[in-house]
Structure formats: structure tokens, C-alpha cells
């Protein structure tokens, strides 16, 4: 395998690991954070990068083919839908009158 191929494999591995890392952070955040708002932060955001790096790795591994282009499109859609979904959840909580957790409140 030539140098270019090795670099590509390296990048794919790096992106996959980064994606795993951010997905792990996201999961940890959902478990540790105190209320619906802060969980919505981490569930959507760390996930954006988690799925983002994962799909970037896929696109890089597949290369300039139909499936690779589609995974780039998927990436774009995640970047549009993810914040929209997070906003919908947070807004629903807000309209239900859920007061955001602040420092000093009991952890739930």
C-alpha cells in the first residue's frame, strides 16, 4: 500500500475513534447531567460530532462513490435535524413549565 493509502487508513481510524469518543461523552452526559435541558445539550451536540466523525470516516473509507456522497449528505441532514430535534424537546419542556436546574438544586 502506498503512502497515500496508509494516510487514508490512518485518518479513517482516527475519525472512527473520535466519533466513538464523542458518542461516549454524549452517553456519559445523558447519564450524569441533572435535567432535561442539560441532557438535551449533550444528547444532541456530542452526538453531532459523534455521528459526524463516524460518517466522515465512512465517506473517507468509501471514497468518491455514490455511497460516499450519500454519507456526506447524511452528515448535512444530521446537522440540520439534530438541533431542530433538540430545540423541539427543550421547547416542549419550557412550555410545560419545567424550570431549568440551577446550581444548589438537588441532583435528580
Q: Which residues bind another protein (CB under 8 A)?
A: 21-22, 25, 28-29, 32-35, 37-38, 40-42, 44-46, 48-49, 66, 69-70, 73, 79-80, 82-84, 86-87, 90-91, 93-106, 108
CB of 8 to another protein, least distance (A): 20
- How far apart are alpha carbons 83 and 58 in whole angstroms? 22
Nearer to another protein, 29 or 60 (CB): 29
CA distances from 97 to 38, 91, 101 (A): 16, 10, 12
Amino acid at each position: 500500500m502506498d503512502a497515500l493509502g496508509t494516510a487514508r487508513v490512518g485518518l479513517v481510524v482516527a475519525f472512527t475513534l473520535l466519533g466513538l469518543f464523542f458518542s461516549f461523552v454524549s452517553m456519559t452526559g445523558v447519564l450524569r447531567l441533572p435535567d432535561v435541558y442539560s441532557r438535551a445539550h449533550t444528547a444532541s451536540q456530542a452526538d453531532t460530532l459523534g455521528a459526524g466523525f463516524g460518517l466522515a470516516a465512512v465517506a473517507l473509507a468509501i471514497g468518491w462513490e455514490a455511497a460516499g456522497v450519500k454519507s456526506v449528505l447524511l452528515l448535512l441532514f444530521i446537522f440540520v435535524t439534530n438541533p431542530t430535534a433538540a430545540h423541539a424537546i427543550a421547547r416542549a419542556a419550557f412550555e410545560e413549565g419545567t424550570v431549568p436546574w440551577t446550581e444548589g438544586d438537588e441532583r435528580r
